[in-house]
Amino acid sequence: MGKKAGSKILKRTMSPSFWQIERKNKRFVTKPSSGSHPSKQSIPLTVLLRDILKLTKTYSETKIIIREGQVKVDSRIRKDPNYPVGLMDVVEIIKTDSIYRLVPSKKFLSPIVIPDNEKDVKLCKVVNKSSVDKETFQYSFHDGRTMNIASSTNVPVGSTFKISLPSQKVEKIIEIKVNNLVVLTGGQNKGLIGTIKDIKESSFSRPRMIDIDADNRTIEVKSDLVMAIGEKTSELTMKGDE
């Protein structure tokens, strides 16, 4: 009889580099479950707690903590040890009162410690928009969320919603506009924070490009590699000790 599903393990040598795990001492590592983020852009909870944050020492110890409901992701308790966490997800360890957010960095994704007043707030980038009916648009976000909003609030793809968790109430909408603050989520400058200087609309042979002032220089990147995080200042903490 054939397998009903794919393998639940992953060779360490094939895991994403930003997982920061040892690759030669052991052969296999936990594979992320199917969820809100693609497997190559997310970290399983067990790897995050044991290998990156070093809050536990073994898989068994980590699994017990998660199964006991001691870990929240985006203000909801998650009991799947392999649950995938990704860009802008908020991870709360209830027993230690520790709160982390996964933000873009040179490594691609890094957890940073955030203050308690930010644990119930999240930035979500619009990756798709479709019309439900004449009065409603459905917005799809980078973390798999969807939200139906009246068509009178017509927000372009690429904008960022600041939402409260777990209610998903919209607190603010930040569009890709000149002088707004963005963070790079991909490319060789990932993790860099800068201000939009110019927006060059797409053409038949060239995607939409954005000029960003950062680190006393101007860089040009594709619009799908940036995420708006504020107007004059960032809406949330985006930097930590790497």
Number of domains in the chain: 3
Kindly give the residue spans of alpha helices, DSSP state H, lying in the chain: 45-47, 59-67
Q: Which domain holds residue 203?
A: 181-230
**Where a domain ends, among 135, 157, 174?**
174
For residue 21, what pLDDT is reported? Answer: 63
Pair (126, 192) in one structural domain: no
The answer as to whether 2 is a domain residue is no
Q: 114 with 125, same domain?
A: no
| CATH code of 153's domain | 2.40.50.740
DSSP β-bridge partners for residue 155 = none
Q: Classify residue 219: in a domain, yes or no.
A: yes
Q: What angle do CA 185, 111, 10 make, to 5 degrees?
A: 85
Q: What is the pLDDT of residues 179-194, one digit of tens each?
A: 999 999 988 899 999 9
- What are 72-120's pLDDT values in tens digits? 999 999 999 989 999 999 999 998 899 999 999 888 889 999 999 999 9
State whether 13 and 110 are in the same domain. yes
Closest CA to 9 of 26, 1, 25: 26
Distance, in Å, from the CA atom of 207 to the CA atom of 240, rounded to the nearest integer, reads 32
Between these two residues, 12 and 158, which has the higher pLDDT value? 158
Among 41-45, 146-150, 208-212, the least confident range = 41-45
